[in-house]
Amino acid sequence: MSSRTDKNPGNGPVLGGRYQLISQIGVGGMAVVWQAYDTVLARTVAVKVLAGHSADDPQSRERIRAEAQAAAVLSHPNIAQVYDYGEAESGGALIPYVVMELVRGGTLQRRLSEGPVLPRYAMRLTAEIAAALAAAHAEGLAHRDIKPGNVMLAPTGAKVVDFGIAAAIRPPGSGTDDFEVFGTPAYLAPERLLHDAVEPASDVYALGVLLYRLLAGHSPWTSETTTQMLTAHIYLEPAPLEQMPQVPPYVTALCNRCLAKDPTERPSAREAAALLAHAAGLQVVTDEPPAQPAAIVDTEPSVLIRALGSPPPPPPPADAEPAAVPSPPAGDDPGSARRIRPVLAVVAVVLLMAVAVSVWLLRPTDETAAESAPRFGSTGAPAPSRGATDPPPGASPAPATTAPGDPAAGPTATTTTTAGQQPANAISPGDPAAPPPPPPSPGATPRTPAPEPTATTTTPPAEPVERTLSSSAGSVRATCPEAGTAQILSWTATKPYKVTQGDKDPGPSPAVSFKHGNKQVTMTVTCSGGVPSAS
């Protein structure tokens, strides 16, 4: 929130002849954020200045400019507003900077480090975040890095910040083929890792991960490495969020829907905002013109949901049962914003991405950018840290939660690789357990038991077992239609690999070949005991 009451400090360096720097309030891997004073409009602002090697990197310079342009078109109470963009001279070079709203409060990441939040507060925060996403999606933008570190807790509510990697919404196959994925591993949707689409549904997936963590207090996966985390997003089905006290069933169902692996099965940000707002007791306000002017000003807390040509879906009643939804995945792990580059033979299953830090969030513990920040002049003392917004008073205590069970892992697959490739383990769901036999029907027992007639019964043939088998270059879906015969039903290549040859006809050992440059991986499928495996 900006303030017009601060007095002009009159000492620090001035950027663009207008913005007087006061003190550093945040440091990230690529930028330093200053509290500054706008000498023209007499208000306190935040100024984000590119720092370190990023100041000389053309790609970083273009990204901070794109951030300013993307956020400048958005006007919403739950999005930190961008005021200006400029370039300042420092040591003979021009350093880009962005002037934005100064949010009085800490990040959600810092608040979570202090302990869990109450369910009602969690639903309120995510309702406001969803409303911000709906506004961005209405303007054709996807944020692509929703996480606790990019949510500020202002006295007026949640504020989404950092549109540094936001992009225009586009379908798969229409973007640049640079094989880079920008974002934070713990919140990356499966489609973000498999193709170059920029979809609103990917933001909704990240929202679902965040909602799961706020309500359950933990991630639905146990991931010790980035590789495991990325693998989980694509293949592992975690236990759905369990129903808990003080959380309406439709919110539990909403969270599970947000985490569906298929983007088409997720709700829109607009729908999520409406349902979460209803659960949190917020008044839903749209920017559609009312039929009649309001006679009384309503002072209840509210959330603004942008109009998209149709009113938001009506919230279900408090005692409504959740709709039947498919079993969804979820994932969460604290992490910084990263640019994930494919490095072959590193990531399990289908991912070939090692993570190189490309941080746009403001991390107070990162001293690299601070030490190499542009020198515009003397700086003031560091600003004291501000406390995070506390949950609303009178809220109910947080419920006890139960950790979900570990997802089951299926059979493993090995691959024949060339050029130093390492195969990865395949993951597939286990076979369902056989149902218990029905109880015997009640009836009278004959006095003289007669010999039971013998009957010859034939057991119907079992359905062929299907498995998804994976390697570092791609995955295949295979089955065993009959003894000694394998069949590949489908295959998917992992970027940057391409499929060069594939056998779909049944046979003793059909194969699929993936190639990238001079590196080739061939997966040969065989059957043993009716179960397919790859070698």
Q: Any known ligand binding at 147?
A: no
pLDDT tens by residue, the chain, 535 residues: 444 444 556 678 899 899 999 998 888 767 888 999 999 999 999 999 988 777 778 878 887 887 788 778 888 999 998 899 998 887 777 888 999 999 988 899 999 999 999 999 999 999 999 999 999 999 888 888 999 999 999 999 999 988 766 777 777 655 554 445 677 888 988 988 887 678 899 999 999 999 999 999 988 777 788 888 888 888 887 778 989 999 999 999 999 999 999 999 999 999 999 999 999 999 877 765 545 544 444 444 556 765 444 444 455 544 444 333 333 333 334 444 444 544 333 444 444 443 333 333 333 344 444 455 566 654 443 333 333 334 443 343 343 333 333 333 333 333 444 443 433 333 333 333 334 444 444 444 444 444 544 444 455 556 788 888 888 788 888 899 988 899 999 888 887 788 888 888 898 889 988 887 778 889 899 988 888 888 8
Rounded to whole angstroms, the Cα distance separating 146 from 133 reads 9
Quick one: the chain helix, strand, coil %, rounded to 5?
Answer: 20, 25, 55
Two structure tokens written together for 188: 């990356």
Q: Given this model, what pLDDT does residue 461 score? A: 57
Which residues lie closer than 8 Å to 455 by C-beta, 6 or more apart?
none
pLDDT at 302: 56
Q: Name the pairing type of β-strands 302-305 and 283-286.
A: parallel
Q: Where do the DSSP E strands lie in 257-384?
A: 283-286, 302-305, 338-342, 353-357
Domains and CATH numbers, the chain: 1-104+364-386 (3.30.200.20), 108-289+300-361 (1.10.510.10), 410-426+464-535 (no CATH)
**Residue 381 CB coordination number (10 Å):** 8
pLDDT at 175: 52
Closest by CA position to 130, among listed 227, 241, 273? 273
Burial of residue 380 (CB within 10 Å: 0-12, 13-18, 19+) is middle
**Residue 410 token pair:** 């299926």
The per-residue b/e assignment along 405-424, b for 16 or more CB within 10 angstroms, e otherwise, is: eebeebbebbbbbeeebebb
The predicted structure's pLDDT at residue 45: 94
Active site residues: 145
Q: What pLDDT was estimated at residue 277?
A: 95
- The tally of CA atoms less than 13 A away on the side-chain side of residue 220 is 25
Query: Is the pTM value of this prediction over 0.75?
Result: no
Max CA pair span of the chain: 110
Q: How far apart are the first and last CA of the chain?
A: 59
